[in-house]
Amino acid sequence: MFCTNCGEQIEKPLISVKGEVCPHCGCVIQTCETPKGDPNKNGKAIASLVLGIVSLITWLIPLFGYPTSIIGIILGVSGMKSENKGMGIAGLVMSIIALVACIANSAIGAYIGSTSF
Ligand SMILES: [Zn+2]
């Protein structure tokens, strides 16, 4: 039998309080179809949170605000699938707010620029 989570062959499953566990990845065999949050995405959730905070500061400068908020949104979507779901969502929300503020900022800037002469 093969583990549905990591794909390794299971010759002898480990027995834990949760039931039979894959000796390679540690997931419970009966629930391997719905594995826990992807640990590879935990970093993305944290990065998204950091970028969200940074973009809330940098939205005043569109040159920095656009890339930080857009990358924050992309990482936030990814980070939502991790164990740090809350961090990913927080990062995503902050990045969206920053992006909207950034767009509004450049729209107002363009409007002022076009009417001041
Ligand atoms: Zn496994």
The model carries a pTM of 0.64
CA 18 to centroid of ligand 1, rounded, Å: 15
CA 12 to centroid of ligand 1, rounded, Å: 12
Digit-coded pLDDT (tens) for 19-64: 888 888 888 877 665 455 566 778 899 999 999 999 999 988 878 8
Q: Burial level of 102, CB count in 10 A (0-12/13-18/19+)? A: buried
CA 117 to centroid of ligand 1, rounded, Å: 67
Cα–Cα distance measured from residue 81 to residue 34, given in angstroms and rounded to the nearest whole number = 12
Cα–Cα distance measured from residue 27 to residue 81, given in angstroms and rounded to the nearest whole number = 17
Digit-coded pLDDT (tens) for 66-114: 999 999 999 999 998 888 889 999 999 999 999 999 999 989 988 988 8
